Chains A and B, each alone.
Chain A
Amino acid sequence: MKLHTISINNLKRRKSRMAFLTIGLMVGIATIVTLVTLTRSMSRDIEAKMDEFGANILITPQSNGLAMNYGGISLGGVTFDQREIRERDLERIRTIANHQNISAVSPKVVGGITVNNHGVLLVGVNFESELRMKQWWKVFGSEPKSEHDLLLGTDAAKVLNVLPGDHLTIKGEQFTVTGVLDQTGSQDDALVFAPLAKAQKLLGKEGKITLAEVAALCSGCPIGDMVSQIAEKLPDARVSAIQQVVEGRLKALNQFKRFSYAMAGVVVFIGSLIVFVTMMGSVNERTTEIGVFRAIGFRRSHIMRIILLEAALVSLLAGLLGYAAGMGGAGFALPFMAESKNAKLLWDGWVAGGSITLALVLGLLASLYPALHASKMDPTEALRAL
C-alpha cells in the first residue's frame, strides 16, 4: 500500500466521473493536435508546391516603355528602345550562384498571326517545361508531341471553331489541334500554343524569345537574390519576381493558423475548466475520506500528492487518447482542406510529446487548487461528519 494505490483505486471506483474528465481534456488535446497537424501539413503541402512550381521569376526584354494595361484591358503602350533576348542567353541563367535553386526555365516567343481570318496570339513554348509549371492546366484531348501539334486556349478554340483532332493551316503549314485547355480565367484562354522552334520560325524570330519564366525551388530560397543574379547575367532583360500568389496562399494559411490557435486556446480553456470543476467536485465529495486521511496522520503534502497523482494519470490518458483522436481527425480533414490531393499527414514526435506534456500540465494546473483545497481541509470535519 502506497499513496498511488489510493489514487489508482479511487480512479477505478469513480469510472464515469473519470471518463468524463478524460473526455473533457481529451477533446481539448485532440482539437489542438488536429489543428496543429492540419496547419503544419497544409504548410508543408504549399511548401512542396512552391518547390515544385517555384515562385516564378519573369524575364522580359528591357525597354523604356510603360505598360498600359490593367485588369486584362490593354490600351496599347509606348515602348521604345526595346531590346531582345536571345534563346542562347538563357543558358547563362544556369551559371548564377543560386543555380541549384532553379527547377525549370521556360522560354516563350509571342507574336500575332492570322488563322482562318482571325488574328490570334501565337505563343511558342517548350511544352514539357510549360506543362510541368502549369499543373492547373486541364487539357481536353492530348498534349502536343510533334512540331505540327497545337494546344489552344478555350476561347481561341471557340473563335476558330475547332475541337481536338481538327486541323488548322498557319502560313501554309497544316497543324493538328491535339488539345484544348479548360477555362483558366487567364489570358491563356485566348492563346494558341505551338512548339517553341516552330513558333519562332512562323513569327520570323528564330533564336529569339519574348519572355522566359524561371521556376525556382522556393522553400526558403532567396528569390530576391536570384532576381539580382539573373539580371546581372542578362543585362538586356528585365527580371522580376512573381510571388504574389504564393504569398497570398501563405497569408491565408497564416490567418487560418491564427484562427486555429485561437480556437485551440478556447477549447483548452474549456477543457481545463472541466478538469477544475470535476476535480473540485471530487474533492468536495471526499471530504470525510480526506478528513480520515488527515486524522490518521497524512500530511497536507500527502493529500496533494494523492489528488495530483489522480489528475496526472487522467491527464496522461487524455493526452494519449487526444493525440490519437487528433491525428485521426487531421487525417480525415486533410483531404478536404489541403489544396493538393497528395497532401500527406505530418507525423511529428514533437506534436506527440507536446500534446501529452500539455495534457499533463493543464490537468495538473487545473487540479492544483482542488488539491490545495483538499490539503487544507480540517480533519475535524471528518469527526463532525460522524
Chain B
Amino acid sequence: MSLIKLTNLTKQYASGDEIVEALRGVDIAIEPGEFITIMGQSGSGKSTLLSVLGGMNHPTSGEVEMAGVKLYHLPGEKLADFRAHNLGFVFQSFHLIPYLTAMENVMLPLAIAKMATKAKKSAAGQALERVGLGGKFDRLPNQLSGGEQERVAIARAIVNNPHILLADEPTGNLDSRTSDGVMALFRELNGAGQTVVMVTHNPDNGRHADRTIHLKDGVVVDV
C-alpha cells in the first residue's frame, strides 16, 4: 500500500478575473522509504503540489491520502495535528526563528507535544547531532552559516520522527559544495528509512533521488 496517494488532484487559483490552474489532474503514488524529487520550471505547480501534500492547501478537487488517512477530510484542527505528528518541513529560506537558539528552533515542533522538557532537549540534541551540529546548540541563527542553518532546519523537520519529510528547494540558497553536503544528508536520512519528497529545480539533486517526477503546467509529464 502506498504511503502517499494523490488521485486526480486539481488546484485552481483566482488571479484577478482569471482562473489559474496550478495542478491539473495529478495522480502520484509514493511508497514508504522512497526519495522523490519533484522538478519543473518556475510556475509548473511544484510548490503548490508540495503545499497540498503538506496539508496546508486545500485542493480544488481530488484526494490526498497519507498512510490511509484522507487528509482533507480531517475536521478542523485535526489537520494541524496530522502535520505535527506525520510531516516534517524544510523550507528554502530555512525560516528559522531568529530569536531562538539552534536547540530551541529544533525543539519548536515539540513545544506543543506532551513531553517532559528533558525529553524534548534530548530529542533535539540527538537531531542536531544527527545533522552534524553537535557543538552549536546555543547559537542563534545569525551566528550560523547558510549550510548550518539548513542543517538546523532539517533537524527541526526530523525531530519528531515524521513519516514524511517535505523539502521545498532546500539547496536553493546554498553554494554547490554546501548543497552536496545537504543532499548527502537527505540521502543519509532516506537511507535510515525516512520518506523524502523534495521540490527542486536543480537537476543535480535528482541524482540523489530514487525517482523524479516532472511537472509542466500543472501536469505530471514524466515519472
Contacts and interface: CB of A to CB of B under 8 A. Distances in A.
Interface residues of A, number: 29
Interface string A1-43: 1110110011011000000000000000000000000000000
Interface string B88-114: 110111010111100010011111100
B81 A6 contact: no
A386 B112 contact: no
A1 B107 CA distance: 6
Nearest to A2: B111
A243 interface: no
Interface of A is mostly: helix
B144 to A, nearest CB: 17
Contact of A294 (B56, B110, B169): B56
A297 B91 contact: no
A289 B100 CA distance: 12
What class of interface size applies to chain B in its complex with A?
A: 35 or more
A145 interface: no
B84 interface: yes
Nearest to B153: A292
B98 A383 contact: no
A386 B47 contact: yes
Contacts of B20: none
Interface string A362-386: 0000000000000000111011011
B176 interface: no
A196 B107 CA distance: 90
Contact of A292 (B80, B88, B91): B91
Contact of B104 (A1, A12, A13, A288): A1
Given A292-B97, A297-B85, A382-B91, A3 B112 contact: yes
Interface stretch (A59-67, A168-176, A258-266, A299-307): A299-307
A330 to B, nearest CB: 38
Given A1-B107, A6-B97, A299 B112 contact: yes
A386 B168 contact: yes
A148 to B, nearest CB: 87
Contacts of A292: 89, 91, 95, 97
B84 A297 contact: yes
A262 B112 CA distance: 44
Contacts of B83: 295-297
Contacts of A2: 111, 117
B164 interface: no
B108 A296 contact: yes
Contact of B80 (A5, A299, A380, A386): A299
Interface string A213-252: 0000000000000000000000000000000000000000
Contacts of A379: 56
Given A295-B89, A380-B57, A382-B91, A1 B97 contact: no
A301 B156 CA distance: 21
Contacts of A296: 83-84, 88-89, 108-109, 156
A383 B50 contact: yes
Given A2-B117, A296-B83, A386-B93, 19 more contacts: A1-B108, A6-B108, A9-B100, A9-B104, A12-B99, A292-B89, A292-B97, A297-B80, A297-B85, A298-B111, A299-B77, A302-B112, A380-B51, A380-B56, A383-B54, A383-B57, A386-B47, A386-B92, A386-B168
Going nearest first, the 3 A-B pairs with the smallest beta carbon separation are A297-B84, A1-B107, A13-B99
19 contacts: A2-B117, A3-B111, A292-B95, A294-B80, A295-B83, A297-B80, A297-B83, A297-B85, A299-B80, A299-B81, A302-B111, A380-B57, A383-B50, A383-B56, A383-B57, A386-B91, A386-B92, A386-B93, A386-B169
